[in-house]
Amino acid sequence: MNLIIDIGNFRTKIAAFEDDKLIELLAIEDAPIDSIQQFIEKYKPEYSILSSVVINDEGIVRLLNQSTSFTQLSAQTPVPIKNKYDTPTTLGTDRLSAVCGAKCLYENSNVLVINGGTCVTYELLTAKNEYLGGGISPGLNMRFSALNTFTDKLPLISFDNEFDNLIGTSTQSSILTGVQNGLIAELEGIISRYEKQFEDLAVVLCGGDSKFFDSRLKNSIFAPKVNWQPNLVLYGLNAILKYQYA
């Protein structure tokens, strides 16, 4: 049994895996150490891995070291892909994990991974199992926040999953159409440019806002090629953990 922990900017995911099968998943926003302890007591995992984009809690690391064979994901951790990134020490562990998850789904294929969270990241894994890099763009909430922060009069609003108009008829609806349709147009444009460079490209969506992207892209020409995998990072972390003990 493997224990997988992914600490993001606003949320922590804790998962138990039996080989390649996800057994249980818990997503929380508060301090996760008590929940981790409960997973350990319930499943008695032999191995564990921690990925964090924030400052790590020494108590969590100590608990995992005491209870399991523990791996803390870093730039030095062996992974089941060839990392061609020029600055691997600056590569976010969430980005690396998502790419390793894509490898599990698409062996020997060109894959574009789009992770929609605080930022929107684009990652390219080639059919030769080489991670080449990608791009980082502001996410939905960051774009809404920027309009409010850097102007005097524009209000701070949140994305509206039901809003689907092209033309805004008020300040609020103009912000919604500008941000939401603008980001979808970015996604479609980026996918199109990658398709021109890489044959038979598969596209995988993950991250907190990925369902929003998925529902919009399903109405586009990319629908047959887009695969929504909200837990892709967890599957990638599990693959990395298994690689340590293969």
Q: Compute the mean pLDDT over every residue in the chain, rounded to the nearest whole number.
A: 91
pLDDT in tens, 80-117: 999 999 999 999 888 999 999 999 888 889 999 999 98
Question: Which CATH number does 2-72 carry?
Answer: 3.30.420.40
Positive or negative: CA dihedral 163, 116, 35, 25: positive
Sheet holding 130-138, edge to edge: 82-83, 130-138, 119-125, 111-116, 202-206, 226-228
pLDDT in tens, 181-205: 999 999 999 999 999 999 889 999 9
Reported as a pLDDT band with limits 50, 70 and 90, residue 53 is confident
Outline which parts of the chain fall under CATH 3.30.420.40: 2-72, 89-234
Return the structure tokens found at 236.
């990638």
Residues near 54 by beta carbon (within 8 Å), at least 6 away in sequence? 7, 8, 9
pLDDT in tens, 212-227: 888 788 666 655 578 8
For 13, what's the count of Cα atoms within 13 Å in the CB-facing half-sphere?
A: 22
CATH architecture under which domain 89-234 falls = 2-Layer Sandwich (3.30)
Which positions are annotated as active-site residues? Answer: 94
User: Residue 108 has what pLDDT?
Assistant: 87
Reported as a pLDDT band with limits 50, 70 and 90, residue 245 is confident
Cα 236 to Cα 57, 140, 180, 209, distances in angstroms: 22, 24, 28, 19
